[in-house]
Structure 1
Amino acid sequence: MTSARTLPDSPAGVAGRRSAGSDEEPAAPRRLPARLDWLWAALLTLAVAVFGIGRAEPWRDELASWNAASRSTGELIDMLRHVDAVSGAYYLLLHGWVSVFGDSLAVLRLPSALAMAGAAAFAVLTARTLFDRRTAVFTGLLFAFVPAVSRYGQEARSYAFVVLAVSAATWLLLRALERPVLRRWAPYALAVAAAGLFHVVSLLILLPHGLIVLLRWRRDRRGRTVVGFAVTVAVGLLPVVPLVLLGQRQVSRQISWIKTPHLRSFADLWSNLFASPTTGLLLGALVLLPLAWSRGRRPAGELLLTGAAPILAAWVVSQGSTSYFMDRYLLFTVPAWVVLAAAALAALRPLRAGALALAALVVLGLPDQRQMRTEWARIEQDGRAVAKVIAKGYRPGDGFAPVRGDDKVFMIDYQVEYYLPERVRLKDVFAERSALQRDDLFPKECAQPVQCLRGTQRVWVVTWSGTDNPFHKFPKGQAEALRSQYRVVESKTVRGLTVSLVERTP
């Protein structure tokens, strides 16, 4: 493949002619070696991602991660047999992390920031391989300031690791295609396995990767390249197959809520993919430009396949009984779009035009960067304030009754429990079997609420705010049991929630 690095008008070519042309020219200022571009890009991405990392309150998916990671290894494996197997690799990784470093918000999210930093490194390496150093520099700068990179680099979920694995796989594939030998195919197999283990939807990347292999084969007719790719993918998928089979049994309760996408869903996805409608619009205006110049058309076409094919495939597959068309499930395509946009910026002349366009992208994305770091960026309920109220008035033997029923997916119980101090040990009065006992993320609720309340003198009741009813949204049986046997001693409304202390009537 012709690379911009070998063109006579490339920056490297010009520099080479100058150094050979005259001994009297002043020495060029020292610059960071090109081979270290991936390092500064990773450090920049990490710095941006960790800024304000512990500020936003955790939302329900992060609380699920915390709950799962807080279990013992055996308890976690037992849970994965029943629910959330597709997140198992991430939960196990996070379990090891919190066992060493603790479970504060910043600590819970830091692995994702590190993963995004790694993804930045591989995006830069891909840009350098397909284009030139200038594109690689623009890639490193642009990737760090895409709002979605910070959004998911500050979330205790697996998506940043998926981006890392797919970014690594793309670069490793390019290396293997340059020299298709075992020591280059083996790392690619590991990256494919990691992508699938962190999220099976990311395996859609194999579609554009396969197309790239076929396009390269069509040009050079090296049959061993196709065979090597096929064998490598098969090996990489081996550890993922059991996860896919187990995940299929759990899919009805995991993602049945995702709606079948329509054509207009592409526009929504594109905006959400970058966590900023403005950034998405500007990147969309740039990504097709590299296809217009002959020296960049081939690598740009391969990157376009890498970004677009998984999205199109997800849309088609989602027309069936199960939908996978969700922006965060397809986040792994972001590096490809960033490299394409960076190639467009690098091609602008003069160079300051590209720099100004990059600066505009960064500045226009700042409102979204700022918003995602606000305290209530992800949830509207203040579980921390509820925990403070309970901790202040707690007595040993107190019960706990968070609203669940149809609203259990909002995990109000975990929002409060995450902030409760160790000394506060509440009895979950309407949990016949705890989530831990039933190897699940949710407890089994009591079929006979009156009996479950026996022996509990005081109960802390937590439900949604906006009503005078302290048992709002509780299942009918639970609400009647509380109303008939307890009186409200005190009640306090905080952001989004109401916490009431009820005491058994004489």
Structure 2
Amino acid sequence: MPASRPARFGRVDLLVVAAACGLSLAATLPRLTRRPVWTDEGLTVGATTQLFDTLRGTGGTMALYYAVITPIAQLSTDRFWIRLPSALFVAATVAVTYLVARRIGGRWLAATSSLVLASTWALARWGIEARGYGLAMLLVAVGWLGVVELGATDDPRRRRRGWVLLAVGGLLGPLAHGLAALQLVAQAAVLVARADRRRFVRPLLVLGLAWAVLLLVLFAYGAGEVASWIEPPTWSDLKQVYAMLVGRGGLGVAVGAVVVAGTAIAAIRVVRGAPWRAGSTDVGADGWLPLVALAWAWGQPLAVLAISLVRPYQEPRYLVSSLPGVALLLGLAVTSLRGRPLRLGATAVLMAVLLSMQPAVTNTSGEDWPSVVAVLDAQAQPGDGLVMRPLLRAPFDYAVAERGGTVALEPVSPEVPIGEPHRIYGEPDGSLRQVLLDADERTVWVVVRGLESRDEVEALRDDPELAGERQIAQIQKLRGELAVYRFRLKERA
């Protein structure tokens, strides 16, 4: 027998949803213009001018997001406008999470989970990027809403709606971000875990076939080559995944303890209800529904970590769509407390702790491209050359355009005119050493990112041929990961 339907959605629910969405927007909208556009966002802007080449070159990953952002970019590529859709997707995700949580545990759980989710630092950081993470998270949440609709009713109309929601989330999610595909696996597993699984099997097989065809098409177009830069997982990667899902620093440890408690509570309720047992009728708050929170929070991260042992994908921001599930677990831990004052106090403390983590990650940037442009604008001379990896040109070109396109440099490698972001710049013309040896310009400026790239440049000081031709000077190491070098031809006696 399905769980009884909760109280009708009313004014109290609307007020709480408005408060949670308002908190999400208050945490994101003021920050839309604060951080400089970084590499991935520059590639997004570039993709809007090379849409079909981008889709062919990236296996169609984020195709749906590009379809959303391209019309906006035709009107404006200002930081605010290209990031605004993601902020709206995040706020909508908070609202959908409220609906899912209300089905699982009523208004208390819904209010706590949605407010906690809106306070999460990772949402304020990665959720407002001009990338597909926010859209993917929303579609995944829609899919989970379909799951709880399917599992909590025998009403044919609501079941049809549940299948539509699950299909929309499951099939469109991977077109916003490829790893969202793993959430459909978790959703199907949750439905199959029920005693009445037979009524779900045939539609799931049809949906699974469509899902498999979609993935085959994406991989046929090269999706398997995306994110090939990720190294095999290390302990440091696991810590970063933990920080993204739970929290940073010492406060993150405290939040982690609450997540563990919520995970244990959900697991106990699932085991106690044993919804997979033949004849089980307990599919409510003490049976099947807490399994949704567990699978949403941990299904994708555990699958990604397992896959990464063979093919690394464990980039923390790729797991953003699991954040609402973690918020549900935090909500389960808080709502297990007895007494309204204790619950209210615990919710307030948890929100304050999570909100306190936001400034450190939303006010700073590892890539200060406007400062790079300012340095070159002040020191470079007309006719000087510019060399950087093709991947880095998009955010640089964006910063140049944002400044007004004043940098008087000749593009040496890649040889694409400066000032208009592209997604595809072509392959570099040989190694950095060879590019510098072949350059005709008297002075060549090199912009690098990361310690490894700086070490590569520094090693050129010991190269007899290059050191004999050019004088190498590190002009400035900027805040974060960027550095600017100048290679100038030596005067001949």
TM (norm. structure 1) is: 0.77
Partner of 1:99, secondary structure, is helix
Return the offset for 1:66. Answer: 3.2
Residue by residue, what CA displacement relative to the aligned partner does 1:365-400 show, whole Å, maximum 9, x if unpaired? Answer: 344212012223xx1x54322312332456554422
Of 225, 241, 245, which residue of structure 2 is paired with 1:269?
A: 241
Q: What corresponds to 1:15 in structure 2? A: none
Structure 2: unaligned runs, 5 residues or longer: 273-283
2:222 equivalent among 226, 247, 272: 247
**Aligned equivalents of 2:225 and 2:137: distance in 1?**
24
Match of 2:116 among 142, 146, 150: 142
| Offset of residue 425 of structure 1 | 5.3
* Cα distance in structure 1, aligned partners of 2:395 and 2:86: 21
Q: Which runs of 5+ in 1 are unaligned?
A: 7-11, 13-30
2: CA distance, partners of 1:209 / 1:243: 21
Instruction: Report deviation, 1:268.
Output: 5.5
Q: CA RMSD in A?
A: 3.9
Deviation by residue 1:84-104 (Cα, 9 ceiling, x = unmatched):
642343344333322223232
411, 424, 438: which one aligns with 2:407: 424
Q: Secondary structure at the match of 1:57?
A: coil
Question: Following the alignment from structure 1 to structure 2, what is the Cα–Cα distance between the partners of residues 158 and 124?
Answer: 22
Where in structure 2 are the equivalents of 1:462-477 lying within 5 Å? Answer: 462=447, 472-473=457-458
Deviation, 1:45, is 1.4
Q: Aligned residue for 2:137?
A: 163
**Paired residue type of 2:29:** V
**Alignment partner of 1:400 is 2:386:** yes
Match of 2:308 among 318, 321, 326: 318
What residue is the counterpart of 1:259 in the other structure?
232
Q: Does 1:227 align with 2:212?
A: no
* Residue identity opposite 1:228 in structure 2: P
Deviation, 1:126, is 0.2
Cα distance change of structure 1 residues 275 and 241 upon mapping to structure 2, 3 Å threshold: farther
Structure 1 CA distance, aligned partners of 2:24 and 2:333?
21
- Asked if residue 289 in structure 1 is aligned to residue 272 in structure 2, the reply is no
C-alpha distance in 2 between matches for 1:147 and 1:224: 40
Matches within 5 A, 1:10-409: 32-34=11-13, 37-69=16-48, 72=49, 75-83=50-58, 85-104=60-79, 106-177=80-151, 178=153, 179=155, 181-216=159-194, 218-219=195-196, 223-235=198-210, 238-251=213-226, 254-260=227-233, 269-276=241-248, 277-278=252-253, 279-292=255-268, 296-298=285-287, 299-320=289-310, 322-376=311-365, 379=366, 382-392=368-378, 396-402=382-388, 404=389
Superposed displacement of residue 210, structure 1: 1.6
In structure 2, the partner of 1:17 is: none
Deviations 1:433-473 (A, max 9, x none): 7899997355422576478533x45544445799xx99934
- Structure 1 position 245, deviation (Å): 2.7
For the 8 Å contact 1:261–1:323, the answer to whether it is kept is no
1:445 and 2:432 matched: no
Output the amino acid matched with 2:265.
Answer: L
How far is the alpha carbon of 1:2 from its aligned partner? 3.1
Contact 1:45/1:117, CA 8 A, preserved across alignment: yes
- 1:273 alignment partner AA: L
Q: Deviations over 1:66-89 (max 9, x none)?
A: 3333xx2xx332133234642343
Match of 1:497 among 477, 483, 490: 483
**Any conservation in 2 of the 1:430–1:453 contact (CA below 8 Å)?**
no
CA distance in 2, matches of 1:434, 1:44: 42
**Max radius of gyration: which structure?**
1
Contact 2:259 2:333 in 1 (8 A): no
Compute the TM-score of the two structures, normalised by the length of structure 2: 0.79
Q: How far apart, in 1, do the equivalents of 2:111 and 2:213 lie? A: 36
Contact 1:461–1:470 at 8 Å: present in 2 too? no
Counterpart of 1:274, as a letter, is V
* Counterpart contact for 2:43–2:423, Cα < 8 Å: no
Counterpart of 2:469?
484
Describe the superposition over 1:97-136 as per-residue Cα deviations: whole angstroms up to 9, x where unpaired.
Answer: 22223232x3332222111111111110101122212211
Q: Look up the equivalent residue of 1:285 and give its one-letter code.
A: A
| Percent identity over paired residues | 22
